[in-house]
Amino acid sequence: MKQDPKLPSPPNIASNTRELIVQLSRGNVDAAHALAQRVQAELNMILSSDLGADSALTGQARQTMFAIEEVLALVDQSDLRGAWAAARDAAKEWRAVTSAHE
């Protein structure tokens, strides 16, 4: 599948979700929060693109966004264990997208 050059790279989003898990496991709240916001912004770019609501990438971005929003909420509540679990869910959701783009 050809990637629209204006959209974020799925492998880059996957890398950021994996790094998010690492930062949360280390207790690096500021770095984790910044990464979660970056992933959220990248997913928003996909969701607001011209791909259409029924494209596979849009569907996966929507599902991943739910997990990233949960990460942000849990980090704000200082629940790093819960945020870590939500970040793992985000990474799992996004893994299918990354393998389809490779």
pLDDT in tens, 13-30: 999 999 999 999 999 999
pLDDT in tens, 79-90: 999 999 999 999
Sorted by where each starts, the structural domains of the chain and their CATH numbers stand as 10-101 (1.20.120)
Cβ pair 35, 20 in contact under 8 A: yes
Collect contacts of 73-76 with beta carbons under 8 A, ≥24 apart: 75/24, 75/29, 75/32, 75/33, 75/36
pTM: 0.86
Cβ pair 33, 75 in contact under 8 A: yes
